[in-house]
Copies of this chain bind each other. A is one copy, B any other.
Amino acid sequence: MSHPDTPADRPPKMPPAHPFDFDAVRSDDGDDKLHEECGVFGVVGLPEAANFVALGLHALQHRGQEAGGIVSHAPGIGFNSARRFGYVRDNFTKASLMETLPGHLAIGHVRYSTAGSKGHTQIRDVQPFFGEFSMGGAAIAHNGNITNADALRRELIDRGSIFQSSSDSECIIHLMARSLQRNIPERMKDALRRCEGAFSVVAMTRTKLIGVRDPLGVRPLVLGKLGDGWALSSETCALDIIGAEFVREIEPGEMVVITENEGVQSYFPFERRASRFCIFEHVYFSRPDSIIGGRSVYDTRRMIGVELAKEAPVDADLVCPVPDSGTPAAIGYSQESGIPYAMGIIRNQYMGRTFIEPTEQIRNMGVRLKLNVNRALIKGKRVILVDDSVVRGTTSRKIKEMILDAGAAEVHFRIASPPTSWPCFYGVDTPEREKLLAATMSEDEMCAHLGVNSLRFITLDGLYRAAGVPEGRDPAAPRYCDACFSGEYPVAPSDMLEKGFQLRPAAE
Q: Measuring CB to CB, which residues of chain A are less than 8 angstroms from any residue of chain B? A: 1, 3-6, 8-12, 15-23, 48, 51-52, 54-55, 58-59, 61-62, 65, 71, 78-83, 87-90, 93-98, 100, 123-124, 130-137, 139, 154, 157-164, 173-174, 177-179, 181-186, 205-208, 237, 240-241, 243, 257, 259, 262, 265, 287-289, 291, 295-296, 298-299, 302, 324, 327-328, 331, 335, 340-343, 346, 348-352, 355-362, 365, 368-369, 372-377
Contact = CB atoms under 8 A, between A and B. Distances in A.
B10 A135 contact: yes
Q: Report the copy number of this chain in the oligomer.
A: 4
A57 B58 CA distance: 28
Contacts of A349: 61-62, 324, 349
Contacts of A137: 16-19
Contacts of A88: 350
Contacts of A299: 376-377
Given A132-B18, A174-B160, A376-B296, A205 B237 contact: no
A430 to B, nearest CB: 22
A361 to B, nearest CB: 4
Given A5-B208, A95-B359, A184-B9, A350 B80 contact: no
Contacts of A335: 340
A346 B89 contact: no
A369 B241 contact: yes
B139 A157 contact: no
Contact of A9 (B6, B58, B136, B365): B136
A328 B348 contact: no
Given A83-B21, A90-B352, A298 B377 contact: yes
A352 B87 contact: yes
Contacts of A130: 18-19
A2 to B, nearest CB: 9
A58 B348 CA distance: 8
Contacts of A328: 343
A118 to B, nearest CB: 15
A173 to B, nearest CB: 6
A160 B178 contact: yes
13 contacts: A16-B133, A17-B137, A20-B79, A22-B80, A22-B97, A52-B361, A93-B355, A240-B375, A241-B368, A241-B369, A328-B343, A331-B341, A331-B342
A59 B376 contact: no
A8 B207 contact: yes
